Structure 1
Amino acid sequence: MKAIPVEEAVGTVLCHDITRIVPGESKGPAFRRGHVVTDHDISTLLDIGKANLYVYDPRDGYVHEDTAALRLAAAAAGANITLNGPTEGKVTLSAACDGLLEIDTAALMALNSLEDVTFATVHSHQFVQKGRALAGTRVIPLAVPEELLSQAEAICSRNDPLIQVKPLKAARVGVVTTGSEIYSGRIKDGFGPVLRSKFQTLGSTVTEQILVSDQVEMTVQAIRSLLADGADLIAVTGGMSVDPDDQTPLAIRQTGAEIVSYGAPTYPGAMFMLAYLEGVPLVGLPGCVMYHKASIFDLVIPRILAGERLARKEIVALGHGGFCEGCPSCRYPACGFGKI
């Protein structure tokens, strides 16, 4: 910051508001802090009685807050992120398409550890829709040193983008619905319509659904049939509890699939199973997926469709935030469920 004659201030940035008083009429800011002085402003400033101004001069190695925010946002933004602003010094980052939000939380921590730099986001690993605002960034002072901004940009470019949206695969989903009561026709299947709707929201299609009894071999054959038909993801519904008639986990094991996890620290969704059969994701979905708006399905399936191969550690990590509060009116995903 320095004081300079008004006539020399063109192109510099005001450090404070400049007030204009019209006796008996008004008192208010003629120019706001952060205003970039133009040729047309000189006469007005002289009329107000300002012969000298306190300004930041970009030529002195400082960057104005608007420019700094744009540079921070551009450095952090990966695929499918749009920038809006700056407005009052802040740039907002939004989703350019539907997909899985991925945030490099280590880079985010390092960035916010820099003095005078702020970058706030929503939680990572959630399905977001096009147009949703995901993050905002700004610097605290009116201007920051170029050296600080360069340091922040370097953090953003170390590894993966700090923030990105990964499009989801339009998967062919095969469903096996277990339960003798459904297979025999005693009750109507309610799981199939729910899964069709959920997968459609994520851009995928349930291409085939096979009803089976509680016989293990019948379930194994159905899973193998869907695999042979080219399913990109196989979901087995029902029979996931510890009831003696619930044989789905055993059937999934007997396919020869690689079991990642049986059980997840999430409520609803504790009896979830994740496996991979010849590279194809195979999930055992507990009944809560049919009844709850948000469940283990919403925490795991978008990540699978985004191309992530989940390991047990990713399932275990869901415990922090994995307790649904059962709000009378569900606000998911604008809540803490599944967020870390």
Structure 2
Amino acid sequence: MEFGEIAVNTAIGAILAHSVQLDGQRFAKGRVLSAGDIAALQQAGIAQVVAARLTPDDMPEDEAAAALAHAAAGTGVDCAAPFTGRANLSAACDGLALVDTVALDRFNMLDESLTIATVAPFEPVVAGQMIATVKIIPFAAPRAAVARGETLLRELQAGLLQVAPWRAQKVGLVSTFLPDGKQSLLEKNRKGLEGRLAALGRHAIVERRCPHKVADVAAEITALRDAGCSLICLFGASAIVDRRDVLPAAIAQAGGAIEHFGMPVDPGNLLLLGRHGEVPVIGLPGCARSPKLNGFDWVLQRLVAGLRVRAEDIMKMGGGGLLKEIVSRPQPRAGGKTVVRKAPKIAAIILAAGQSRRMGAVNKLLTEIDGEPLIARIVRAVVESKAGPIVLVTGHEADRVRAAVADFPLTLVHNRDYADGLSGSLKAGLSALGAGVDGAIICLGDMPELRADHLARLIAAFDPEEGREICVPTFEGKRGNPVLFGRRFFPEMMQVSGDVGARHLIGEYAEAVCEVPSPDRSIFLDLDTPEALAAYRNNSTS
């Protein structure tokens, strides 16, 4: 890759390295300079820019990020479209993140241009949560380095990153008591286990209570195993202090085995790992009654995710195993919430209420393109993207439009005032969105070349924390459709009137606008007249 200061009149196709502010316009870094951009720069009196030029040996940053993200993703992992050299990976389900840290280190040492960052190994994650990001550091990466990275990642049998989903468990709980023991302690045992399991999916608990004696506990272990429990937890009235104590002795008497006693995690040091056939039997430390994080959580999470926990696994938990609350690192109390970064929930509003006046007597949305109505073609592209929920606003010939999209998962909203213009349909669509939506893509119903990847690029670019709240597709420096608006603009969008949409917000909130390069001119193409339709059909068949 060539990099440095170059003359503006030779910069067509170069990648702008630093943002340039013009009168009323800002060229962001990473912009591929078009002929129109060069003219604007020259008109502003700018003769030199710092830019990069790719060589045949370079792979563009987005292409490289996408290739490596797909190679890294294992079971239970979704890949987002790349943007500015970054491709994020998210959890497809609730579960436990599994990271091959040895392979991750090998990958990150291949070339300084290639990086992958992940959540911590064995971190509980929720569906939609970002769990890794692939970032290409410069504007391009050496093709040879990307090829080495792909090879390394694809050779991993299970993938660099997986999410093991929570599996429903039938959990047996044995709580023991002493003659003078408190009943409230037994209740606390059950509540502590219920609270932990509730965060890991849906599970059934079968509880048994018995005296703190070897024979009694052994009988309950056998009964729970025979009842089909997939995991058995033992809460002793007295802490386990030795492999030969009451609870481990009971496991042995029931026909089980002790695999490990103790763990390098505090709190949680006195955890006991046993097994009765294929059923794990866990002797719980006293700290497991508390809602605070402790060593039992780490073991329980792996077991509920379907992973086998061995003595070696427990002995490797020392790194990061100091969980005890200290002044410099307070732990969350009961009821505290952990904030996770999830992929934004982006809805799509498809405007399909217009009367197609310029098309004459024909409703352009029902005109067939490649054997299906134009509106169905648009809806199909939106459904195939990551957008959701999808709201389609009808108006003119509503029954026929609804029939054309009857097979798609949509929320249908009717705009009775469709004759008054575009604004009524926009407001009807926004009103149908739920509170959990972070933004919405406003799609026109007459863009025949709209594809799922066009929408995916907008969604990947959207990041309010980074100031990217209005995402606009561009090609050769010109802006097109559809446009993604963040939720904070919805109130102003609800105030528009007449036959206009919300594009005026792009000018009013220039600091929030992110231009998203499109791979083609499809973002400009709509079919408003019979001539445009005829020309499109001729071009499609030629």
Q: Output the TM-score relative to the length of structure 1.
A: 0.84
Q: Does 1:313 align with 2:312?
A: yes
- Residue aligning to 1:279: 278
Structure 1 residues 21 and 98 mapped into 2: Cα distance closer, same or farther (>3 Å)?
closer
- Residue aligning to 1:117: 114
Instruction: Identify the match of residue 164 of structure 2 among 163, 166, 171.
Output: 166
Q: What do you get for the CA RMSD once the two structures are aligned? A: 3.1
When the two structures are aligned, how many residues end up with a matched partner?
326
d(CA) in 1 for partners of 2:326 and 2:184? Answer: 33
Compare 148-157 and 183-192 and name the one that shifted more.
183-192
Q: Does 1:146 align with 2:143?
A: yes
Q: Tell me by how many angstroms 1:104 deviates.
A: 0.5
Q: Confirm or deny: 8 A CA contact 2:261 2:271 kept in the other structure.
A: yes
- Residue aligning to 1:103: 99
Structure 1 residues 61 and 30 mapped into 2: Cα distance closer, same or farther (>3 Å)?
farther
Compare 124-133 and 264-273 and name the one that shifted more.
124-133
The AA in structure 2 aligned to 1:69 is: A
Q: Does 1:65 align with 2:64?
A: no
Instruction: Identify the match of residue 126 of structure 2 among 129, 132, 149.
Output: 129
Structure 1 residues 5 and 127 mapped into 2: Cα distance closer, same or farther (>3 Å)?
closer
- Residue aligning to 1:253: 252
Query: Deviation digits for residues 242-300 of structure 1, max 9, x if unmatched?
Result: 39x96112111222213210111111111111122111111111111002511112111
Structure 1 residues 17 and 185 mapped into 2: Cα distance closer, same or farther (>3 Å)?
closer
Q: Confirm or deny: 8 A CA contact 1:101 1:125 kept in the other structure.
A: yes
Gaps of 5+ in 2: 339-542
The AA in structure 2 aligned to 1:296 is: G
Q: Does 1:155 align with 2:156?
A: no
Q: Confirm or deny: 8 A CA contact 2:175 2:186 kept in the other structure.
A: no
Q: Confirm or deny: 8 A CA contact 1:182 1:188 kept in the other structure.
A: no
> Aligned with 1:302: secondary structure?
helix
d(CA) in 2 for partners of 1:87 and 1:181? Answer: 66
> Aligned with 1:79: secondary structure?
coil
Structure 1 residues 315 and 81 mapped into 2: Cα distance closer, same or farther (>3 Å)?
same
d(CA) in 2 for partners of 1:143 and 1:104? Answer: 26
- Residue aligning to 1:32: 28
Q: Confirm or deny: 8 A CA contact 1:183 1:212 kept in the other structure.
A: no
d(CA) in 2 for partners of 1:79 and 1:181? Answer: 50
Compare 35-44 and 180-189 and name the one that shifted more.
180-189
- Residue aligning to 1:77: 73
Q: Tell me by how many angstroms 1:200 deviates.
A: 2.0
Structure 1 residues 18 and 188 mapped into 2: Cα distance closer, same or farther (>3 Å)?
closer
The AA in structure 2 aligned to 1:90 is: R
Determine what percentage of the aligned residue pairs are the same residue: 30
Runs of 4+ in 1 over 4 A off after TM superposition: 2-8, 48-55, 181-188, 331-334
d(CA) in 1 for partners of 2:77 and 2:92? Answer: 5
The AA in structure 1 aligned to 2:241 is: V
- From the two aligned structures, give the one with the greater strand fraction: 1
> Aligned with 2:267: secondary structure?
coil
- Residue aligning to 1:265: 264
Q: Tell me by how many angstroms 1:175 deviates.
A: 0.6
Compare 167-176 and 319-328 and name the one that shifted more.
319-328
Gaps of 5+ in 1: 335-340
- Residue aligning to 1:294: 293
Q: Output the TM-score relative to the length of structure 2.
A: 0.55
d(CA) in 1 for partners of 2:114 and 2:277? Answer: 47
Q: Does 1:44 align with 2:67?
A: no
Structure 1 residues 52 and 267 mapped into 2: Cα distance closer, same or farther (>3 Å)?
closer
d(CA) in 2 for partners of 1:39 and 1:15? Answer: 13
Q: Tell me by how many angstroms 1:65 deviates.
A: 1.9
Compare 269-278 and 324-333 and name the one that shifted more.
324-333
